[in-house]
Structure 1
Amino acid sequence: MAASVQGGRIGNLPAEANAFVGRRLELAEIAGLLGAERLVTLTGPGGVGKSRLALRAAHAARAGFPGGAWLVELSELRDPDLLTNTVAQATRLTEQTLRPLLQAVCEHLSGAPVLLVLDTCEHVLDECARIAQELLASVPELRILATSRQPLGVPGEHLLTVAPLPLGERDDAVALFTARAAAAVPSFALTDANRAHVAAVCARLDGIPLALELAAVRLRGFSLHRLLEGLDSRFDLLVSPARPRLARHQTLRTAIGWSHELCTPLERLLWARLSVFTGGWDVEAAEFVCHGGPLDAEEILALLASLTEKSIVTRDDEGAAVRYRMLDTVRSFGAEWLTGLGEAEAVRSRHRDYFRWIARQGEAEWLGPGQRMWAERLTAEHANLRLAIEECMTAREPETALELTGTLWFFWFACGFAEEGRTYLERALRRARAGGGPEHTLAVWAHRLVTVVADDLEAAESVSAAYVWLAEERRLPVPALPLTGASLAVRGESARSAVLYGSVRQAPAGDGGAEFFQLLTLAVQAYLLAGQAAFERCAAVAERLRAECAKRGELWMGAWGDFFVSLAGIGLGHPDEAVLPAREALAAKWRVHDRIGAAAVTDLLVVAQASRGEEELAARLLGISRRLWHAAGLPQLGRPDLSVFHREYERRLRAALGDACFTEAVRKGRELGPDAALALALGDTADAPGP
C-alpha cells in the first residue's frame, strides 16, 4: 500500500522538530520551480540548511501532490546498490515483488502528482542520478526535490544554490540565533542592548545555520559577550595572514571544533565512538559499542544526556524506545577524531559484533511473545544492520557475512525486506565461493527461503532441500517438507503431499528456523485441506496452528492460523464467524510488516463482508486488496489461476451495487492510505459504510 495519512494528506514527511526561521525568498522560489520544473536540486555546503529547507518546502507544497509527498533520507545509505530499496521502503512499497524493483517503484508512484524528496545525495550521486532519470522518464506526474553538495547532472535538472543566512541586525541569521538561544535559555531575548553582539556572533559564523545553532546552545554556560570572545579567539588561531576570511566550510568545522573543545575528555571520546552508528542508536547499543578504556559503560547514559544538552546529539522519544542520533556534519567530525585516536577499526568491529548478537537474539526469540518487538526493533536498526553486514563483507573470514545475512532470514522473509535480503545473501555467497560449513548452509537456506514464491516451484523445492542440509548441520529433527508439498499442490498433485499430515515434532528450544518450519507444516496442511474443500478438517488443523503459536506468543504464523479459521468459516457458510479471526490476522500481519499476508487476509474480508450483505464495504475492501497486490506485483499468492477471485467478486458486487456505486467504492478503497485502510478493514472507523 502506498501511503500514510497525516492530517488528511498522504506521505511520510516527519514533523519539524522546531520552528522554521527565515528563507521566505527561497521558499517562494522553490514553490515556483516545483510548479514548472520536474527536478529541482538544492546545492550548497554542509550545514547551510539544505535538508531543513527542502523539508519545509515539501510541507508547504504537499497539498498540491495528491499522490503523496515522500522523504527519502539517504545520509544513512552506504551501498549505492540499495538506493532503489531505500526509495521503495520510504514510499511504503513492499519489497515482496516479482518485478524488477525499480519498475515496481515507478508503477507505485504513478497515477497522481507526487513529490519525492531525495535528501543528501552527494555520497551516492551516480546512482541517484540514474534512478532519478528513470523515475522521471517513467512517471510523468512526478516531481523530485533533491539536496546535494553537488548537482546530480541529470538532463532538465534545475539548480538552486542555498546560501548562508543574511547577516544584518534584522535579518534571518539574527532571527535564527535568537530563536535557538531562547529555546536553550528561556530568559534570553533580543534587545537593543544586545542586538549588535548577536549580529557580531552571526557574522563571525558566516550566517551558517548549523554553526549558529551550535553556538546558541553555548549560552547555557556563557554570557553573550563571553561567547563572542570565545569565537574570536578560536577563529583568530586559524586565520592565516594570507587568508583574512575563513572559507565557509572551514567556518563550520571551526564552530563544531569549538563545541568539541568545550566538551569534557570523556564526552569527546564518546562523541568519536558514537560516530560509527548510522540511523541512530539506543542506550544499550551505545554502552556495548562505546565502552572501554577510560569510558565505563555505566557512565554512558549520563554522558549522552550531557551531549544532548550541548546539541551534539539529538534525542528521539517518539518510538517505544528512546533513541539518539547525530547530524551528518557532527558525525563526520567525530569520525575524523576517532580515526585520529587510532580506534576506528576496533569500534567498528564492536559495532559489527553487537548487531551480530542482536540478529542472533532476534532469531532465537522470533517465534515468541517478543515477535512484534523484534520486528519493530530490527526495522529501527535497519541502517545499522546494513552497516554491520558491510563490515562483515570486508572481514577476512567470509563466514561472518554468511552467518549474519543468514541469521536474519526472519527479518528478510517476514518483515518486508525480501529483495534486500536476496541481494546481501547473494553477495555473501559469492564472496564465500566454496561451500561447506553451517554458516554456508544457513545462508543457502535463507536465500532460497526469501526467493521462493508460490508459483516458483523449483525454488520452493530447493528451500525444502536446503532445510534438510541445515537440519543435518545443526543436528535438528527434520519435519515434513511443507514447501515441497505446497508446490506439488500447485501442480495438482496434492495426493503426493500426504507426507504433510504427519505429526509435528518439537524442535530444540531456541532454534527459530526449526520451529518456524514445524509451524509452517501445519499452515500448509490447512492450505491443502482448504483447497480440497475439507473445511472442517482445515479448521481443526488451523486451530492446532493457533494453539502452537499461542504457546509461543507468536504473531506472524499465528495470523495464518487465524486466516485459515476464517477461510474455513466462509467455506462452511458462517461468514459472521469469519470476520473476527480475519481481522485478528490482518492486525497481526500489519504489526510485523507482512503486506502480502495482509493482502491475502483482505481478500477474505471481501468475501466475508459480501456474504454478510455488506456490499459497499466489500467493494472498498476490494479496492484496498487490489492496491496491496499491485504493490507486490503478485496475483493472489503468486498463482495466476486465482486472479479469477477479483473478477468474480467484481461481477457480484457490481451487480449488487450498480456500476457507478461499485466503481466509486473501489476507488475510495484503493486511494486510502495504510492507516485509514487498516481502520476500515478492522471496523475501527466511523467512515465505514453502514449496514
Structure 2
Amino acid sequence: MSEPFGRGGRVPAELTSFVGRRRELAETKRLLGVSRLVTLAGMGGVGKTRLALRAAAGLRRAFPDGVWFVRLAELTDPDLLPLTIAAGLGLPREQADELAGVLEDKRLLLVLDNCEQVVAAAAAASAKLLSATLGVRILATSRQILRAEGEQVLVVPPLSVPGEHRAHGEAVALFADRASAVLPGFAVDEENRETVAGICRRLDGIPLAIELAAVRLRVLSPEQVLHRLDDRFQLLTGGNRTAAPRQQTLRATFDWSFELCTPAERSVWEAVSVLAGGFDLEAAEAVCAGDGIAVTDVLDLVAGMVDKSILQRRTGTYGRAAGYRMLGTVREYGRLKLTGSGREDEVRARHVAYWRNLAGRFRDESFGPGQLDWIERLRREHASVRDALEYCVAEPSRAGDAAEIAAALWHFWYAGGLVPEGRRWLKTALALDSTPTPVRARALAACAFMALRTGEPDVAGELLDELRALGDEPTRASLAQGAGTASFLAGDLCTGRTLLEEALAGCREAGDLLQVVTTLVLLASVAFFQEDDVGLAMAEDALRLCEKHQAHWSKTQALWAVAIHEWRRGGYERAAALLREAIALRLADSTQLAATIGALAWCAGSAERHQRAAGLLGAAQAVRRLCGARASETSPYRVFDEWCAAQARHALGPRAFDSAFQETAELSREDAISFALEEKPGKPRPAPARKPGRPGGLTRREREIAELVAEGMSNRAIAARLVIAQRTAETHVENILAKLGFTSRAQIAAWLAEHRAAGV
C-alpha cells in the first residue's frame, strides 16, 4: 500500500466534556515523544480510554498518516488481533497478516484500547510492528501492563479528590458536570459542597463511579447518594445504555477485572481486602497462604495484581519493606466476594493470628534501633489492627485475642498518641471475657496504665486490685509500677517511690529495658517533687540506656526527665537545649510533647523571657487540646505551669499575657512544634477562624456522630444507635477527622469538650 490511509485517521468523537487530567495529558505526550510504545495502565473505570482519546486527538498534526483508534474490548480470541487491527486501520482482511509491511513507511499513531483480555497477543503484535517500522508509535490502554520490550507505562490515577491540601479537586468538577446534565441547574455550592466532596472521597475519585453516582441525582439528593454508598455496587447501576455492558454498572466493571484474574489472584484479592489502610508483603503472606496457595506463591500473585492495577505500590516505604494499597472501592468489592466465598472466618482468623504475632514481636523488639520504625509501621497499619480488633470484640469467644493484641501494643497506643483508643479496646475485651488467664493479667496491667494516663485513677485502682488478686507473677513488676504511679499522682510520694523502686528491680530482673526506662523516668519524676538530686542520676541513667540502644521515642521521655531536674537546679540553658532536642524528633505522642513544650516555657520564664514563656504555654495548651487524654487536668506539673503563667502575667500585664497566650493556643501541632523550636521568624500563624454556628465546618449529622465518638462509642455502636450501616458511620468519622485536621478519635473528644466549654 503506497498511499496514506487518509489524513486524520479514525478517532471517535468525544460525546461528553473532558474534565481535568492536565498532568496526565502532558505526561502521555511526553512519553510518546521519547518512546514508541506507551501503555496507559489502570483499574477499570479510571478513565484510561478517555485520556487516550484526548491525547490522540491532540497529536494528529504530529502523524501525517493519521491517528487510528482500535477497540479491543470485545476481543477474546488473540488469534483475531491482526484482523481487528487491520479493520481498525481500514485495511482489507487479506492484509491482516502483512501489517508490518503495509505500515513500513508510515508515520502514524495506533491506539490499542482495552488490551487486557489479549495482553500477551497485544504485546507480541506491538513488538512485531515496532521492530519492522520506524514511524509507527503505539498508545495502548490496559488494566494490565503489556510487558513488551521498550514499553513505557503511565499508571492512570483516579481523579484528585478534596483533601487536606486541596479544596476542590477534579472529581468534584466531574460530578458537577455530569450532575448538571441529568439535573439542569445543579451546581456545587456552599450548601452541598461537603456532601459532594464526601461522595467523591468515598468513590476514591474513580470517574466511572462518580458519573454513575451523578446519574442517581435524577431521583436522590446528594446526601441520600452519600448515605447509600455503603452498598455502592447496588446503587451505581444506571449507566448509559449505549456504553459497553461492563461500563453500565460499577459491579460489571469490577466483575470484568475479577474475571481477568486467575483463580489464585481472585483468592488473594478477596483475602487482602481484610487489610484496611495498606499492607506489606508479610501481611499479604499471612492472610493469603492457605486454600492451595503457598506462602512462596504470594509474591508473584501480588506482583500480578499490581500489574493488573488491582493493587497499587504505595509511594515511600517503612523500614525496608515496600507497601501496597487498595482503593476503598476495590477493597469493598473484594470484601463482597470474600463474604460470598464461604471462607471469610478462615481468612479473618489468619488476619487475627497475624496481628497476635506482630503485636508480640513489637512488644519484644520495640526497645532498640527499630523503635521508631516499629511505631511508624503500626501507625501505617493502624486501620488493619482496628479491623482485627473489631472482629475479635464482635464475639465473646474471640475477646481473648483482642486482649492479647491490645495489651501487647500498649507502647504503641502511648507512643502513637492513641492512649484513649487503646484504653477502649482493652476495656471492651476485658468486659467480654473475665477468665483469669495470663493474657487477662497483661491486659489488666496495660489497661490500668492507660486509665492513669486518661485521668481515671479510680478505674485504674479497680483494675490493679483485680490484677493483685490474680497473683500473676510475670506481671508483678507491672502491678508495682501501676500502683506506684497511682500513688504518685495522688500525692503520696513516699509510697509511690517505694512501689516504683520495687517495679524497677522486677523490670531489671526480667531484662525488660523498655519498662526499666519507663520506671526510671517515673522515679525521676517522684524525686523531682521531693527535690532529691538522685532523680537526676535516675533520669541520666534512662537517657544513657536510650542512647546505647538507639531507642529514640523513649529518649524523648528521658530528655524531658533530665531537663526538668536541670531546670530545678538552675541550669536553664542546658534544660532548654535538652527539651528542644526532644521536640525536634516530632514524634506522635502529643501528651509527652505538651509536657515538653510546657517545661520549655518554665525555662523561658526563669530566664525572664516572659513573652516567650506565655507563647510556649499557649503552644503547650494547643497540643494538649489535640491529644484527647485528660491526665493533664490532674497532672502534678500543673503547679509549675501556673507559676510560670503567674510570673509572665505579672511581668507583661494581663492583657499582653492573654494576647501572647491566645496567639499560640489554637496552633496546629506542627506549628506549635515550629514555634517551640523558633523555626519561623515573626509571630506564629494562628488557626483560621471558624464560621460561627458551624464549629469545624461539621454538618449537623457529623456533629451528632462527634458527640457519640466523645462518649467512647465504636463505629459499630454508633451505627446501631443511629440505625445506619457501619460503613456509613466509619465514613462520617473519617470526614470529621479530615475536616478538623485530626488523626485520632480522642482528638475529636477533646475538641468537642473545648467547644462545649465555650458554649459553641
TM-score (normalised: structure 2) = 0.57
Task: Give the conservation status (yes or no) of the 8 Å contact 2:614–2:660.
Answer: yes
> Counterparts of 1:617 and 1:16 in 2: how far apart (Å)?
38
**Cα gap change, 1:481 to 1:339, in 2 (>3 Å):** closer
Task: Give the conservation status (yes or no) of the 8 Å contact 2:610–2:652.
Answer: yes
How far did residue 23 of structure 1 move? 4.0
Deviations 1:668-688 (A, max 9, x none): 322332222212223433457
Q: Secondary structure at the match of 1:452?
A: helix
Deviations 1:148-186 (A, max 9, x none): 24399xxxxxxxxx9999x9xxxxxxxxxxxxxxxxxxx
Q: Give the corresponding residue for 2:484.
A: 485
Identify which of 602, 605, 608 aligns with 2:603.
Answer: 608
1:481-520 equivalent positions in 2, closer than 5 A? 481-499=480-498, 500-501=500-501, 504-505=504-505, 507=507, 515-520=513-518
Mapped pair 1:271 → 2:275:
no
1:374-523 equivalent positions in 2, closer than 5 A? 374-393=374-393, 394=395, 396=397, 398-433=399-434, 435-453=435-453, 456-462=456-462, 473=472, 475=474, 478=477, 481-499=480-498, 500-501=500-501, 504-505=504-505, 507=507, 515-523=513-521
How far did residue 414 of structure 1 move? 3.5
Task: Give the conservation status (yes or no) of the 8 Å contact 2:400–2:433.
Answer: yes
Q: Give the corresponding residue for 2:546.
A: 549
> Counterparts of 2:663 and 2:541 in 1: how far apart (Å)?
38
Mapped pair 1:150 → 2:151:
no
Task: Give the conservation status (yes or no) of the 8 Å contact 1:621–1:669.
Answer: yes
How far did residue 632 of structure 1 move? 4.6
**Cα gap change, 1:30 to 1:364, in 2 (>3 Å):** farther
Q: Give the corresponding residue for 2:536.
A: 539
Task: Give the conservation status (yes or no) of the 8 Å contact 1:406–1:443.
Answer: yes
How far did residue 330 of structure 1 move? 2.5
Deviations 1:57-99 (A, max 9, x none): xxxxxxxxxxxxxxxxxxxxxxxxxxxxxxxxxxxxxxxxxxx
Task: Give the conservation status (yes or no) of the 8 Å contact 2:278–2:324.
Answer: yes
Q: Give the corresponding residue for 1:559.
A: 556
Q: Give the corresponding residue for 2:565.
A: 568
**Cα gap change, 1:15 to 1:385, in 2 (>3 Å):** farther
Q: Give the corresponding residue for 2:579.
A: 582
How far did residue 279 of structure 1 move? 1.7
Deviations 1:228-269 (A, max 9, x none): xxx46xx6xxxxxxxxxx9x5xx2211211222223333333
> Counterparts of 1:601 and 1:332 in 2: how far apart (Å)?
42
Task: Give the conservation status (yes or no) of the 8 Å contact 2:451–2:457.
Answer: no
How far did residue 503 of structure 1 move? 8.9
Backbone CA RMSD of aligned residues:
4.2
How far did residue 43 of structure 1 move? 8.9
Q: Give the corresponding residue for 1:630.
A: 625
How far did residue 570 of structure 1 move? 1.2
Q: Secondary structure at the match of 2:324?
A: strand
> Counterparts of 2:186 and 2:642 in 1: how far apart (Å)?
45
Which amino acid counterpart does residue 660 of structure 2 have in structure 1?
A
Task: Give the conservation status (yes or no) of the 8 Å contact 2:453–2:631.
Answer: no
How far did residue 508 of structure 1 move? 7.8
Deviations 1:107-134 (A, max 9, x none): xxxxxxxxxxxx9xxxxxxxxxxxxxxx
Q: Give the corresponding residue for 1:598.
A: 593
Deviations 1:620-678 (A, max 9, x none): 21211122233456777332775454444334334444556544433332233222221
1:275-294 equivalent positions in 2, closer than 5 A? 275-294=273-292
In the comparison of the two structures, how many residue pairs are matched?
A: 500
Task: Give the conservation status (yes or no) of the 8 Å contact 1:51–1:147.
Answer: no
Tell me which structure has the larger Cα radius of gyration: 2
> Counterparts of 1:325 and 1:574 in 2: how far apart (Å)?
50
Task: Give the conservation status (yes or no) of the 8 Å contact 1:550–1:558.
Answer: yes
Q: Secondary structure at the match of 2:313?
A: strand
Structure 1 gap ranges (5+): 1-9, 57-118, 120-143, 153-161, 168-201, 206-230, 236-245
How far did residue 42 of structure 1 move? 7.2
> Counterparts of 1:346 and 1:503 in 2: how far apart (Å)?
41
Which amino acid counterpart does residue 278 of structure 2 have in structure 1?
G
Which amino acid counterpart does residue 386 of structure 1 have in structure 2?
R
1:215-364 equivalent positions in 2, closer than 5 A? 231=244, 251-320=249-318, 321-364=321-364
How far did residue 357 of structure 1 move? 0.8
How far did residue 542 of structure 1 move? 0.8
Which amino acid counterpart does residue 485 of structure 1 have in structure 2?
G
State the identity %: 27
> Counterparts of 1:147 and 1:19 in 2: how far apart (Å)?
15
> Counterparts of 1:578 and 1:284 in 2: how far apart (Å)?
43
**Cα gap change, 1:149 to 1:314, in 2 (>3 Å):** farther
**Cα gap change, 1:687 to 1:296, in 2 (>3 Å):** farther
> Counterparts of 1:41 and 1:22 in 2: how far apart (Å)?
11
Q: Give the corresponding residue for 1:666.
A: 661
How far did residue 204 of structure 1 move? 4.4
> Counterparts of 1:618 and 1:583 in 2: how far apart (Å)?
14
Which amino acid counterpart does residue 505 of structure 1 have in structure 2?
A
How far did residue 311 of structure 1 move? 2.4
Task: Give the conservation status (yes or no) of the 8 Å contact 2:566–2:572.
Answer: yes
How far did residue 312 of structure 1 move? 1.8
How far did residue 597 of structure 1 move? 1.1
Deviations 1:420-477 (A, max 9, x none): 22322232222213x311112222222222111486544454565566578x535467
> Counterparts of 1:368 and 1:463 in 2: how far apart (Å)?
30
Which amino acid counterpart does residue 484 of structure 1 have in structure 2?
A
> Counterparts of 1:603 and 1:443 in 2: how far apart (Å)?
32
> Counterparts of 2:658 and 2:420 in 1: how far apart (Å)?
34
Q: Secondary structure at the match of 1:317?
A: strand
1:44-63 equivalent positions in 2, closer than 5 A? 49=203
Q: Give the corresponding residue for 1:158.
A: none
How far did residue 383 of structure 1 move? 1.6
Task: Give the conservation status (yes or no) of the 8 Å contact 1:482–1:521.
Answer: yes
> Counterparts of 2:452 and 2:274 in 1: how far apart (Å)?
35
**Cα gap change, 1:259 to 1:40, in 2 (>3 Å):** closer
**Cα gap change, 1:269 to 1:483, in 2 (>3 Å):** closer
RCO (CA 8 Å, sep 6+): is it higher in 1 or 2? 1
> Counterparts of 2:657 and 2:186 in 1: how far apart (Å)?
41
**Cα gap change, 1:664 to 1:498, in 2 (>3 Å):** closer
> Counterparts of 2:189 and 2:444 in 1: how far apart (Å)?
49
Task: Give the conservation status (yes or no) of the 8 Å contact 1:365–1:510.
Answer: no
> Counterparts of 2:359 and 2:274 in 1: how far apart (Å)?
18
**Cα gap change, 1:497 to 1:636, in 2 (>3 Å):** closer
Task: Give the conservation status (yes or no) of the 8 Å contact 1:620–1:666.
Answer: yes
Task: Give the conservation status (yes or no) of the 8 Å contact 1:522–1:541.
Answer: yes
> Counterparts of 2:165 and 2:451 in 1: how far apart (Å)?
32
TM-score (normalised: structure 1) = 0.62
Task: Give the conservation status (yes or no) of the 8 Å contact 2:419–2:450.
Answer: yes
How far did residue 17 of structure 1 move? 9.9
Which amino acid counterpart does residue 326 of structure 1 have in structure 2?
M
**Cα gap change, 1:557 to 1:618, in 2 (>3 Å):** same
**Cα gap change, 1:52 to 1:568, in 2 (>3 Å):** farther
